Amino acid sequence: MTAQTQTAHILALHFNLAPKKFVAKTVENLKKLLAEHDGHLVTGFVGTPYFCHALSSNGCLDEAYELLLKDDFPSWLYQVKKGATTIWEHWDGIKPDGSMWSPDMNSFNHYAYGAIGEWLYRVVAGLDIDENKPGYKHAVIAPRIGGNLSWVEAAYQSVYGEVGIRWERESKTNVVTLRVTVPANTTATIRLLDGASLVDGDALTFTKREDILESEAGSGVYTVSYTLNK
């Protein structure tokens, strides 16, 4: 990459701009740029929404979770620790000493950095759409477990009803219990990723494709358990 910035690498990876033969090098360079800032992002409105996507889609799920869960400046959880209930325009809208970044240009409800919420829904919770059957007529459920989180719960109120997901991980056994709600008159594909081994499929039939277990499900509530091998 000519531009040695986090954002340049993020955009090249997320939008498939890097030639295949350079993808691995681009990923490694992004990790180096991240490490140079002690695992913190130094991105703006353009790069921030895609940072965790660029990492998790390219074999760096651990780094994506580490970025998400940073709680010192600059990070999302720095703002939370400062009492934020919305995302700020500036990472340090309120500085560690309590002063403001600027009293003249300092929005405390700014959408751009809050775009991490999309990654939380689509990757952490694993709740996604099928572009060929929009409106959650067919949902794709594929959570990525990580970050030492013990549980995650999310739902979306679609035109067909609530599409819901909850996963819970037992740290000692590494067993994940996944509860999925598929509304009436819809279907879903449930994917167990990261080298999962099925423990209980709740009457669903899972087939293996490389290191992914996949099943089609009709409307209903399903509880599936599996172990993680990665």
- Report the predicted TM-score, pTM, of the whole model to 2 decimal places: 0.93
Q: Enumerate residue ranges in the chain where pLDDT < 70.
A: 230
- CB 10 within 8 Å of CB 23: no
**Closest to 17 in 3D by CA, of 52, 54, 51:** 54
- Tally of residues, the chain: 230
Locate 141 and state its tokens: 């459920």
Q: What pLDDT is attached to residue 185?
A: 97
CA 86, CA 107: separation in Å to the nearest integer? Answer: 10
What span, in angstroms and rounded, lies between the C-alpha atoms of 214 and 193? Answer: 9
Place of tokens 């600059």: 74
d(CA 226, CA 142): 13
User: What's the order of all strands across the beta sheet hosting 212-217?
Assistant: 127-129, 138-141, 187-192, 212-217, 207-209
* Residue-level pLDDT at 105: 87
Write down the pLDDT at residue 207.
97
Q: What letter does residue 29 receive in the DSSP assignment?
A: H
Q: Going from the N-terminus, what domains does the chain have, and what CATH number goes with each?
A: 6-116 (no CATH), 128-227 (2.60.420.10)
Residue pLDDT, tens place only, 59-89: 999 999 999 999 999 999 999 999 999 999 9
pLDDT per residue as tens digits for the range 2-36: 999 999 999 999 999 999 999 999 999 999 999 99
